Amino acid sequence: MAEERESEGRNHTGEKMIPVRCFTCGKVISNVWDEYKRRTKEEKENPGKVLDELGITRYCCRRMLLTHVEFVDALSPYQ
C-alpha cells in the first residue's frame, strides 16, 4: 500500500502527523486522529469520551493520541 506508506511522516499539506500505528499494540490510529483533533479542539469535547467513541479503548493507544496533542488543556478540569 503505497498510500499508507506515504502518510507516515507527513501528509499532503506538509503538516506533521501522528504515527500511523500505536507503538505498543500496532492498532492503526492515524485514521481517527483528524476527528479526534477536530472534536477536542474545535468542539471542546472531552478527549476521553471522544477516544471511547472512536473505538480507542486501550490505554496504550489513548496515550499515543493524548500525548500527541499540542495543547495541554486535554487534561483540564472541565471534563
Q: Which residues bind Zn ion (CB under 5 A)?
A: 22, 24-25, 27, 58, 60-61
Closest separation in Å from C-beta 17 to Zn ion: 17
Q: Could you tell me where the beta strands, DSSP code E, fall in the chain?
A: none
Taking CB positions, which residue lies at the least distance from Zn ion? 22
| Spatial contact of 49 and 2, defined as CB atoms under 8 Å apart | no
> Closer to Zn ion at the Cβ: 32 or 40?
32
Cell 499532503 sits on residue: 12
Nearer to Zn ion, 31 or 76 (CB): 31
Smallest gap from residue 78 Cβ to Zn ion (A): 27
C-beta closer to Zn ion: residue 22 or 37: 22
Query: What's the one-letter identity of residue 42?
Result: E
C-alpha cell at 61: 493507544
Given a contact cutoff of 8 angstroms between Cβ atoms, the answer to whether 45 and 79 are in contact is no
